[in-house]
Structure 1
Amino acid sequence: MSHIEMERSSPAKFRILDLFAGPGGLDVAAHVLGHEVTGIEWDAGACATRAKAGMDTFQGDVRQYRAAFFPHAQVLTGGPPCQTFTVAGHGAGRRALDDVLRYIDRLHRAVRNTADAPDPLSAWMHVFRTWRQIHEELRRKEVEARALKAEKRAVEQSRTEKRKAIRKRLEELGNSAEEAKRFLKELKAPQTLEFPDAGLTCLLKEFGDLDGVLEKLKARLEELGDERTGLVLQPLWWIIERSRRPGATAYEAVVLEQVPAVMRVWEEYAAVLDTLEYRTATQFLHTEAFGVPQTRRRAVLIARLGRAGRDPLPQVRETHEPYHRGVSRSGPSKAGHTDTLPLESSEIENGGTRRKPEKWVSMETALKAARPFSDKVRPRPPFTVVSNYGTGGVPEARGRRDHDTPSATITGKVSRNRVVHKGTDKDLDDDLARFNGAEAGVLQTFPAAYPWDGNDVSQQIGNAVPPRLALHVLRHVLDPELDEDEVAARLDQGVKDLVAWKPERTVEPLGHRGLKGHPLTGR
């Protein structure tokens, strides 16, 4: 039985269904705002963290569930996995994005063409058949892709064995181990090479043939895409199902977020939601402009069920200044600064007046504020974080951020970043040369006491929605009628509650059997 209570929500308290919920970035923000959240998440590590955090969770593939299973959910949120789009514009990423846009267009045409149909059931069946056709097409691609991946692994294994055989034969013919290694490293087109030794020539030809097979398999796999293509469509289908299926009630609000490359998808989503009588807005959000001690850019889609006038939703307001490289909290460096993010307005609308935004939050400030709530957040002398990633396409040119600036984007490799004495390459002592899970979580604006658990905690943190960003977006979408003073008070209290949040209970993840009796299901 879920820990969510059965009582009916008041107008200011929403029941949220969070698809691809991760470890709970959006969920913990919703909780401090007073909303109830149920997440669906397949990753075992993220579910382990959610369990210890007391987050209501159905563990499993989103595609194993349907919007109809949760008729009492009032708000849909989520961030479908979109890694294939991060290279959009080049090769596989471009094709994956184009595929998703085509599927969205097919769904949109089905929704639009049945908008004024006199028979709601017939209209729904037409839309549903369109979705089933897309679903079946994607399923066939997945089946073929699994078979090709198995074949690719077998070819790679054979290729490895041929490399070993070539190396052995080279050494038998009098080449040193180093010469054989260098030969294999520089090998480009072995099938065109001939040697006096027939055995070596044959091995090289067989190796080259395997290379050719491998390239064809890779090309075909790129054409097929992967299962994430279908996952990106899931939130849209859930919205359509709740809006068009006879007897269903449309979600009151929708919040979706992902990497910037997904903005094209959100824009096409917004066109469909407009047909479904939602007011929508899409927006690029710079996380440090919302008090997150980290520079990170996210693409967000927000929507509310139609209101008078059908005007677009207003943009989410920034509360802090954007960060520019070379500017610490005390001012610009001697070298001046180079913009790392577009320069925004230095003032924010506030009713009929204008107010200056707050300064962005530094790593030092965030970690210091979190220390009273967990002894895992440790004091450090002035430091510099040396990124695991290179900059400007140069692997050796590691990015660097000082303690009195926001962190660079927190990724799944955050545990590999070095923490050194400021302005040096000397690691901090006493195990302080790496951020632990609690500290990395704080830089992502999770509470210091967040109970990270399961495998690959760094990846969980890197993939999560920054809770403080979610706090601003949810407040904006779910409390649109508040005046400026009420907004400021709600956000201020929300931030304080988020920093001080601690888990109150452990809740085991649910499966399909947990649907019976759950407050969102009505079963």
Structure 2
Amino acid sequence: MSHIETDSPSPARYRILDLFAGPGGLDVAADVLGHEVTGIEWDAGACATRAKAGMDTFKGDVREYRAAFFPHAQVLTGGPPCQTFTVAGHGAGRRALDQVLRYIDRLHRAVRDTVDHPDASAAWAKVFRAWRKIHEELRLKEVEARTVKAEKRAVEQSRTRQRKAIRKRLEDMGKSPEQVKELLKNLEEPTALEIRDDEFAGLVKEFGELTGVLDKLRDKLEELGDERTGLVLQPLWWIIERSRRPGSVPFEAVILEQVPAVMPVWHAYTEVLDTLEYRTATQLLHTETFGVPQTRRRAVLMARRDGSDRTPLPPVKRTHELYHRGKSLAGPSPSDTLPVEDAEGEDDRPIEKWISMEKALESAGRFSADVRTRPPFTVVSNYGTGGKPEDRGRRDHDMPSATVTGKVSRNRLVHPGTDRNLDGDLARFNKAEAGVLQTFPAAYPWDGNDISQQIGNAVPPRLALHVLRHVLEPGLGKKEAEARLDTGIEELMSWKPRRTVSPREQRDLKGHPLTGR
């Protein structure tokens, strides 16, 4: 498969297909490196932002598309939604993770068992049958889960009505507001309610029965999982399809990223990719060690298909210090999963200090008036710490931000050492400023609904810049690679949209550069 024509032989430009593309965190990084990206994204808000940013997009569910639709895509990237694995309580996350690992093992066995099959078509048919069985199992679980969810909503509504009836009965019995509040708190422990009233007792009994039904429905939903369990398998299936389907050409490289809880999935992926003759590596990356003004961890899977070379890919080298509890740590991160090795005979560039919120916003202010000048501030998180909602996390202006989430617009900016808000609208980050903390360009054209959630869910473009350059340009010398990163970072900061495009539908596949139709 030929690369995109360039005036110079190095570095090569790639055609990238980005699954679960979001608002364009990876896409804008790829754009400044000169690669062409097409994303698939279902969220209407993210598609609206991508449209204004000029990002080529097919709107819809990834499962409605196939790898065979895009034969000219050379690189596969993506971050499948994996919140299921981080669900707290009842072991739901662990069960969902174990289920996905079992599905991956089934696919791997199908791939491995057909490696030496003399008939490529028959081998593909066997692998495809394994996928269809998994796909059908997941589909039936989704159908059953929808039914259980409907039952759960009905029970919750009945439970709410019952709670209101209990409240009214307590008020009719002359209980004070404080007594009513306390008694309602103990409804799930009826033995603690020492009230001799037959009507009240009957209401509480019915409430308890509804609670029991609700608990069983919750357990059933945890057992069934949700659609995200199937979505995390999609990138692997696309890789398998392009590698084993007769007439297809394998992706030259793969980059996948998600929350740290997904690392076991990436490890299982690498076993399949090894069978498919890819060189692989997994790495837990701390975003602040790559110049992102934010502490965040991402689990990354990297793979290349380099002919007979099967050695593991080297780790991505960090450029900045690790931030930890108000201190900068120049030594290796204790969570790095691979050692950092220096190129023989060359000295590395000195590791820089992590970048603070203040510095990031000040630098971005050169490119957009939407990034405003502020006096020193402390960010008070919308989230509590240690399980205490009232104990809000705090970060000062001269530190990296805490992890930017979909609630970033709710964070308060106060005067240091106080709980007094900054004046006016400076007490909140606007969308441009929140985007800058995620290393989006200050001029990024955020649009659509729930922009804070779009920003919080996105891969930090500066992190994507490092990973893309590392995986797609392995042949660059150290100094050339450093210069490439420096230029890319400056261009990322100054980036502005050049055009507006409309999201495509599946019917628009014909004539697209990746389809060959």
Q: TM-score higher than 0.5 here?
A: yes
Q: Distance in 2 between matches of 1:347 and 1:280?
A: 16
Structure 1 residue 306: Cα displacement? 3.2
Work out whether 1:439 is the aligned partner of 2:402. no
- The residue number in structure 1 matching 2:385 is 391
Structure 1 residue 448: Cα displacement? 0.1
- The residue number in structure 2 matching 1:423 is 417
Structure 1 residue 342: Cα displacement? 3.1
Q: Distance in 2 between matches of 1:202 and 1:393?
A: 35
Q: Distance in 1 between matches of 2:132 and 2:339?
A: 49
Contact 1:88 1:97 in 2 (8 A): no
- The residue number in structure 2 matching 1:320 is 320
- The residue number in structure 2 matching 1:94 is 94
Out of 469, 472, 493, the position equivalent to 1:475 is 469
Contact 2:3 2:13 in 1 (8 A): no
Q: Distance in 2 between matches of 1:341 and 1:385?
A: 25
- The residue number in structure 2 matching 1:12 is 12
Match of 2:37, SS state, is strand
Out of 346, 358, 377, the position equivalent to 1:353 is 346
1:443 corresponds to which letter in structure 2?
L
Work out whether 1:224 is the aligned partner of 2:224. yes
Alignment of 1:106-505 (within 5 A): 106-190=106-190, 196-327=196-327, 342=334, 349-355=342-348, 356-505=350-499
Q: Distance in 2 between matches of 1:499 and 1:50?
A: 17
Match of 2:63, SS state, is helix
Q: TM-score, normalised by structure 1?
A: 0.93
Q: Distance in 2 between matches of 1:459 and 1:314?
A: 33
Structure 1 residue 192: Cα displacement? 9.2
Which deviates the most, 391-400 or 439-448? 391-400
- The residue number in structure 2 matching 1:520 is 514
Q: Distance in 1 between matches of 2:340 and 2:52?
A: 41
Q: Distance in 1 between matches of 2:252 and 2:53?
A: 27
Contact 1:386 1:417 in 2 (8 A): yes
Q: Distance in 1 between matches of 2:111 and 2:136?
A: 19
Contact 1:96 1:225 in 2 (8 A): yes
Which deviates the most, 378-387 or 269-278? 378-387
Q: Distance in 2 between matches of 1:390 and 1:200?
A: 37
**Alpha-carbon spacing, 1:275–1:139, altered in 2? closer, same or farther (3 Å):** same
Structure 1 residue 165: Cα displacement? 1.0
1:138-173 superposed Cα distances (whole Å, 9 cap, x missing partner): 000000000000000000001111111111112222
1:151 corresponds to which letter in structure 2?
E
**Alpha-carbon spacing, 1:58–1:219, altered in 2? closer, same or farther (3 Å):** same
Structure 1 residue 203: Cα displacement? 1.5
**Alpha-carbon spacing, 1:440–1:466, altered in 2? closer, same or farther (3 Å):** same
Contact 2:183 2:193 in 1 (8 A): no
Percent identity of paired positions between Structure 1 and Structure 2: 74
Structure 1 residue 424: Cα displacement? 2.3
Contact 1:323 1:341 in 2 (8 A): no
RMSD of Structure 2 on Structure 1 (CA): 2.3
Match of 1:174, SS state, is coil
Contact 2:20 2:41 in 1 (8 A): yes
Match of 1:45, SS state, is helix
- The residue number in structure 2 matching 1:333 is none
Structure 1 residue 196: Cα displacement? 4.2
- The residue number in structure 1 matching 2:47 is 47
Contact 1:88 1:261 in 2 (8 A): no
Alignment of 1:46-85 (within 5 A): 46-85=46-85
Q: TM-score, normalised by structure 2?
A: 0.94
1:98-137 superposed Cα distances (whole Å, 9 cap, x missing partner): 0000000000000000000000000000000000000000
Structure 1 residue 193: Cα displacement? 6.4
Q: Distance in 2 between matches of 1:185 and 1:90?
A: 22
Which deviates the most, 302-311 or 410-419? 302-311
1:43 corresponds to which letter in structure 2?
D
Runs (5+) with no aligned partner, structure 2: none
2:346 corresponds to which letter in structure 1?
T
Structure 1 residue 265: Cα displacement? 0.3
Q: Distance in 1 between matches of 2:483 and 2:330?
A: 35
Structure 1 residue 350: Cα displacement? 5.0
**Alpha-carbon spacing, 1:276–1:338, altered in 2? closer, same or farther (3 Å):** closer
**Alpha-carbon spacing, 1:312–1:304, altered in 2? closer, same or farther (3 Å):** same
Structure 1 residue 397: Cα displacement? 2.2
Structure 1 residue 353: Cα displacement? 2.8
Q: Distance in 2 between matches of 1:303 and 1:489?
A: 24
Q: Distance in 2 between matches of 1:424 and 1:71?
A: 58
**Alpha-carbon spacing, 1:55–1:71, altered in 2? closer, same or farther (3 Å):** same
Match of 1:47, SS state, is helix
Structure 1 residue 204: Cα displacement? 1.6
Runs (5+) with no aligned partner, structure 1: 1-5, 329-336
1:229-271 superposed Cα distances (whole Å, 9 cap, x missing partner): 0000000000000000000000000000000010000000011
Contact 1:324 1:338 in 2 (8 A): no
**Alpha-carbon spacing, 1:346–1:61, altered in 2? closer, same or farther (3 Å):** closer
Match of 2:324, SS state, is coil
Q: Distance in 2 between matches of 1:120 and 1:431?
A: 63
1:518 corresponds to which letter in structure 2?
H
Contact 1:319 1:357 in 2 (8 A): yes
